[in-house]
Chain A
Amino acid sequence: MPALRMRDVRFRHDGSSSWALDGVSVNVEEGEFVAVLGPNGAGKSTFCLLCNGLAPHAVGGVVEGSIEVFGLDVSKRSVPEMSASVGMVFQEPESQLFCMSVEEEVAFGPENLGVPRAEIADRVEWALEQVGLKGFNERPPATLSGGQKQRAAIAAAISMRPRMLVLDEPAYALDPVGRVELYSLLRGLVEKHGVTVIVAEREAEDVAPVCDRMVLLRKGRIARDGPPRELLREPDLLVGAGVSPPQLSELAARLRKRVRGADLSFFTLEEAEREISEKVLSRPGGR
């Protein structure tokens, strides 16, 4: 059974005359790390909100088509029911943190799910350790840096042990190093705990190296869906859809055009260094 199954999904927000999502069909398997990429207005946030019923139940609107999460029809479940299996993390950490201490914040979800006391304490420690905030229990969220707040929000989501984690532009408030750490954390959750992760992003640079699949959203529809290596062989695809491709992919595409016969498909710095030394710089004579 797929973690997420959307069939011909359309969504129109209350008060809007246009469809934020206009015919989206996608399957996400359990344990997959999927990046939903698109410019502002493509429908990424709407996609995220549909995954646990926040759209249409909290954010009013009209849904068409079917959405199933772990086999459950989302339209027939309440948000609290869905939140047991789907954790959500939004762009602005401030809007999600409201307790007096990090510990309360992270305990809030499991408490609401009726998890026994002793187990809550264990989950809080586990979640804080996963996100690198061990020892931050007593800190008031307001005193944390942007990156720490975002990690606290993730801890608060994973303490509920969701099978799926949906994050809407989670790196928004983070500096470049913070972004790399965040994505590394998420990859760790997928690999060590089998969590299904869906992330919405405007840029591919940080998420491409860690995701299994990239879904390009454009004006409410899926323009392309495939593994990052495959999509990034044609960075113009992303550019055309309003998403900036990773710089190295652009470089590979440009070099493929300039250096005849060189099959360059590098993705990471290590691969780039190797392929360029072997296939570009070692060529005799002119280039």
Chain B
Amino acid sequence: MVSVRNLRYVYEGGIEALKNINLDIASGEYMALVGGNGSGKTTLAKHFNGLLRPTGGKVFIMGRPAAEMSVAELSRIVGYAFQNPDHQLFCSTVEEEIAFGPRNLGFAEVQTKERVGYAAETLELEDVLEKPPASMDLGTRRRVSIASVIAMDPKVLILDEPTTGLDADETKALMGIVSGLNREGRTVVLITHEMKLVSEHANRVVVMLDGRIVLDSDARGAFSDLELLKRCSLLPPPVTCLAHRLSHLGVSREVLSTDELVFELTRPGGDRR
């Protein structure tokens, strides 16, 4: 779905944000792109829908070179929801906001209405279609920005730190919606530094440090190297750290959740040690 070859990106002013990235993202994956501030994760993701163009190397979307496609074309395949929803919201009602993409791309009104209906239902915004986004709380504004991206029916959805500012219930609700979108077949790229979120949702984890990919594996593999995660300014979930500390007593290190650790600690211990 998305392929990146020898990607290099240098910001104006000379900062080399991406140093030689090679990556393939398959259709339907739920991939977490993680790293500390300044690791290059957002810079990389912005290449997937043309918001940034490479300084060197190539990006392919569904087999076609991204260089041959405009941002508008790319946004029909790869949707990007910004970390700060206010950077993408500018209409006076939620309905207009969600309809903007399809209308702008020249969809017929009937089709636009259908897209808006689908996006509003998926993001649970049916009751607030006539309201101004500016009057809504952060969690709702974030759902509006994601709905406006989904309205274009992208095959890939990139979410940049979608849970910043959300409380426990809002986080759970939003991540549930995202899981639903992935189950529908959309490829999800979750940019985050919240490792607990990663352990709960992603099946693949790509870790970046200083403009390079330093680890690319399934979630369990990613959490087994605590030293690497620390060097990347990432904190594994406390239960994973605890499992590592107890590993000399026969506890598996490959623990991603409280459920798993409870199971590990309370299973009959015959096979321990």
Residues of A at the B interface (CB closer than 8 Å) are 38-41, 145-147, 172-173, 175-178, 180, 202-203, 205, 239, 242-244, 246-248, 250-251, 254-255, 258-259, 269, 272-273, 276-277, 280-281, 285-287
In the complex, number of A-B residue pairs with CB atoms less than 8 Å apart:
107
| B212 contacts the other chain (CB 8 A) | no
* Beta-carbon contact of A147 and B37 below 8 Å: yes
Most buried by B among A146, A203, A247: A247
Could you list 29 A-B pairs, sorted by A, with CB under 8 Å?
A: A39-B169, A40-B139, A40-B167, A145-B38, A172-B165, A175-B193, A175-B233, A176-B234, A176-B235, A177-B233, A242-B168, A243-B168, A244-B167, A247-B196, A247-B258, A248-B242, A251-B238, A251-B239, A251-B242, A254-B262, A258-B262, A269-B242, A269-B245, A273-B246, A276-B246, A277-B249, A280-B266, A287-B266, A287-B269
Q: Which of B167, B170, B234, B235 has the most CB of A within 10 A?
A: B167
Q: A248-B242, A251-B239, A273-B245 are in contact. Are A243 and B265 (CB under 8 A)?
A: no
Judged by a CB distance under 8 angstroms, whether B87 is at the interface is no
Chain B residue with the shortest CB-CB distance to A251: B258
Q: Give the residues in chain A near B139, CB-CB below 8 Å.
A: 40
Taking the closest CB of chain A, its distance from the CB of B233, in whole angstroms, is 4
* Nearest opposing residue in chain B for A180, CB measure: B235
Contacting pair A246 B268 (CB below 8 A): no
Is B127 an interface residue when CB atoms closer than 8 A count as contact? no
Pairwise interchain contact B266-A258, C-beta atoms closer than 8 A: yes
The residues of B that contact A242 with a CB separation of less than 8 Å are: 167-169
A42 to chain B: closest residue by CB: B167
Asked if A203 contacts B168 (CB within 8 A), the reply is: yes
User: Could you tell me the distance in whole angstroms from the C-beta of B38 to the nearest C-beta in chain A?
Assistant: 7
Residues of B close to A205: CB separation below 8 A: 238
Complex CA distance for A40 and B165, rounded to whole angstroms: 8
- CB-CB under 8 A from B171, the residues of chain A are 244
A259–B264 CA distance with the chains assembled, in angstroms: 13
In the bound complex, CA of A251 to CA of B167 (Å): 20
Tell me, in angstroms, the Cα distance from A176 to B195 when the chains sit together. 9
- How far apart sit A173 and B37, CA to CA, in the bound complex (Å)? 10
Interface string of B157-180 (1 = CB under 8 A from A): 000000011111111000000000
Q: Is the beta-carbon distance between A247 and B238 smaller than 8 angstroms?
A: yes
In angstroms, Cα B139 to Cα A242, docked, is 14
Instruction: Decide if A251 touches B262 in the complex (CB within 8 Å).
Output: yes
A62 CB to closest chain B CB (Å) equals: 21
Determine the chain B residues whose CB is within 8 A of the CB of A287 once the complex forms: 265-269
Closest to A241 in B: B168
Query: Which residues of B lie under 8 Å from residue A285 when comparing CB positions?
Result: 268
- Evaluate contact between A176 and B194: CB separation under 8 angstroms: yes
